[in-house]
Amino acid sequence: MQLRRSRTKMQNINNIFITHLHGDHCFGLLPLLSTLALLGRTADIHVWGPAGLQSVFQQQIDYFCAGMTYTVHLHEIGHTEPSLILDDRSLTVTALPLRHRIPCVGYLFREKPLLPHIRRDAIDAFGIPVSQINNIKAGMDWTTPEGDVIPNHLLTTPAEPPRSYAYLSDTLYAPELATHLHDIDLLYHEATFLSEHQHLAIQTYHSTALQAAMMARECNARQLLIGHFSSRYNDENLLLHEAQTIFPNTLLASEGQRITINYNL
């Protein structure tokens, strides 16, 4: 229902990343998979999560989704060390160990560098054939029919820098992860409690807003998004203001919110 409200095309979803097997983070998975089958999906879908994913969901899929029009692949991943779990043409996904009451992982998404853009005026000026455009993007110079060599930097403009995003929920403050999150563009970090309730954060294996901001500062993030707030706070701006004392470029997460990760120009 929330995907429909946000006008997200469900058929474009090919990978689903589960952080841990507490109900508020995974109860919606089976209805989503069932809905995709009712919509006639045929492409495989991959679900990633920590130990227990297979035992919790495979039986439910077999029972409730028998005869589905597509295949669900359940991938259990380690939760004690960082691990590269997905590497395709456009990005990598790394699972990061979090510190929660049960096996829990965060996810780091990094785009791969793009090829430079070829200049349209250069194509026209030097009569470059379409068949050579990919070679020039890959770094090749161009030699004119007269034998003049046109260096690549005159034929192309730099590509946008690759973007990065990390999702860390639920966890105790884990500063050891900062080295894996260096220069992250957008960091989502849970901020369940205010610092005055840090004893509750420790008891429940959660973080404070101040600790989320400290993580953003330590990994030199460009922007911090905090969420997973305790219901004890009627005014979530209290959490925002606490985080901003350490990391000013902090936003509050809200249902249905869209955030554009701008290229780091």
Whether 24 is catalytic:
yes
24, 121, 124, 148: which is the annotated catalytic residue? 24
Q: Residue 229, Cβ neighbours under 10 Å: how many?
A: 19
Q: How far apart are CA 85 and CA 106, in angstroms?
A: 12
| Nearest in space to 183 (alpha carbons), one of 162, 206, 211 | 162
Retrieve residue 219's tokens. 């990994």
85 alpha-carbon distance from chain centroid: 13
> ∠ at Cα 94 (72, 49), nearest 5°?
35
Type and span of the H or E element at 103: none
Q: Contact 215/187 with Cβ under 8 angstroms?
A: yes
Give the catalytic positions in this structure.
24
